Every structure is written in C-alpha cells, then in structure tokens.
Amino acid sequence: MLDYASLAAVSQVVRDGSFERAARSLNVTASAVSQRVKLLEDRLGLALIVRGTPCVATDAGQRLCRHVEQVGMLEHDLHRALPALGQLDNASSRITLKVAVNADSLDGWFVGAVARFCDKEQALVDTSIDDQEHTAEWLRTGAVLAAVTSSAKPVQGCRSIPLGHMPYVATASPAFVRRWFPDGVTAEALAQAPCMTFNRKDRLQSEWVRQVCGHAVEMPRHWLPSSQAFVAGALAGLGWGMNPLAFVADHLRRGRLVRLAPDSDKQVPLHWQHARLQIPMLDRLTDAVVGTAKAALEP
C-alpha cells in the first residue's frame, strides 16, 4: 500500500514550490514534510522532487502527483455519496485540479466556468497559461488533467470536446492607422508598422498577415505577454495586434479602435481535452467549462 501522508507531502511540495510553504499548507513542520518525502523516495528508490527554487517534480513525482489528484477527486465524490464518512475522515479539505488554458480564454470566459464549478465543489484550480496551440502539450506530459486547446485531435488517453470559435480581429487606433497605413494595409506597410506579439509561440499576427497578403512578412514587434496589455497597447497607439472580438467590440463601436482590413477576422477553434478517467468531479468540471464556453464563444 502507498503511504498517502507521504504522497500528500510530495504533491504539496510540488504545488507550493517549497518544503516550507508545503509545511504551512499541511500544518506540519518543514522537517516532517522532508522526512515524508525522503521516506517515500527511499522506499521507491526514485527521486521524486528536484530540490531548488522552486522545487519541481521528476517524471516519477509527476505520476504520483497525478495519482494523488485523481484519488482526491474520487474520495470527494465518495464523501458526497456517503456523508457518514465525514465522521471518519475530514471531507472538508479542498483538492486542487491542474488545468492549462490560453491567456485570452482565461481573461475572458474561463474564469466564469471555474467559478461555476467551484461554487458547488470543495476544489481549487491550479491554472497554467500557454498558447492555445501548445496547451495540449501539458496534457501529453501529464502536467495537467485538462486543457483548453486549439487542437481537435485527442491527446493519447484524453477526450476532446469542441467548445466553439473565438473570433480575433486585427485592430489599431485610428491615429496609428493614419500614420502607418495611409495607403491601406500592404506588405510594405506591415514591414514597417510595429505589431504586438504575446510571446515567441504566438503566431496569430503572422498568420493574419499571410492570410491578407498571401505571403509572410517580417515585422517589427513589441512583446506584450498580457491580453489586457494588447488592448491597452492598441488604444495607446503602440502597435497593431490580434485581439479577441469580445475584448474590443465596444472600442470598435465607439471608434477608439478600427479594423485594419475588412472581412479579415480570424476564427480560432477551441477544444476542451481532459484525461479519459471515470471521475465524476472531472466530469462536472467539464460540464461547467463546456456550458460556459458555448454561451460565450461562437459556434
């Protein structure tokens, strides 16, 4: 049998990033946490945590953390079905579900889905941010149980559910357009006009340019890893960028922002992929995500 006190210690260290913070979360001493982790590592003959700042799990440690997470969800569902178990164990403690999501969804509709789920569950959500084209990789490595991704093809061992499309529009301030695109959006103008890019994985601007011009264009870039900064940057005339229509619709109506080109909106499909496990709590999280997304996204 696995020692679940030791497993909980490993999981908490990985979640909090240090033995000291894990000790505070578990209401024990840092020495006790260290002893539990070492006991399990000695028993298995495997390193489970790479000590550092922060502490991170080894591959074996990640597998054990996933097991703890899944067992925790099953135990919470068992307590819901058999309330009498509350006399034998502490059913009030919350478990943490790890998910990955793209920044625009997180700043848009996803928080509503999490709130809807957590309103009825003894659960917390640990959210990792990545580009929608790369969140599926978090599932492949086992770092998360579920992810919002642009990939429709299910990751091995996962189920993929279409959520809808997030429309993106190339926007800039009227003054920016007058300065950089006096003769319209051309490849020559795009090669001079600064654009905003979220991070090195963000290809939305480049894909839009290829769609409009028919070929790639090398552009000067501002790097802004924030959905809110993208909108603020466009309003301030810093550059042009692809913003979710929901974020800029009011600015477009009021003339504070304009589309760079008509009929050039880009539809990004989103899917919810989750581990194919028979865990009711994960199913309820899926229901909350799918329901909220279908109300917020375009079909």
Domain range 1-93, CATH class = mainly alpha
Q: What is the 3-state secondary structure (H, E, C) of 240-282?
A: EEEEEHHHHHHHHHHCCCEECCCCCCEEEEEEEEEECCCCHHH
CA dihedral (113, 103, 134, 191) in degrees, to 10, reads: 150
Q: What is the pLDDT confidence band of residue 43, given thresholds at 50, 70 and 90?
A: confident
Q: Give 107-159 pLDDT, tens digit per residue.
A: 999 999 999 999 988 889 999 999 999 999 999 988 889 999 999 999 999 99
Model confidence, pTM: 0.77
Q: Read off the tokens for 86.
A: 């509350």
Q: Give 256-292 pLDDT, tens digit per residue.
A: 999 999 899 999 999 999 999 888 889 999 999 999 9
- Where are the domains positioned within the chain? 1-93, 166-268
- CATH T-level fold of 166-268: D-Maltodextrin-Binding Protein; domain 2 (3.40.190)
Please name which of 108, 170, 111, 128 lies closest in space to residue 297, comparing C-alpha atoms: 108
Lowest mean pLDDT among 82-91, 99-108, 206-215, 236-245: 82-91
pLDDT score of 236 more than 80: yes
Which 3 state secondary structure label does DSSP give 32?
helix
CB 149 within 8 Å of CB 132:
yes
Please name which of 111, 161, 114, 106 lies closest in space to residue 273, comparing C-alpha atoms: 161
Please report the pLDDT score of residue 81 as a whole number. 65
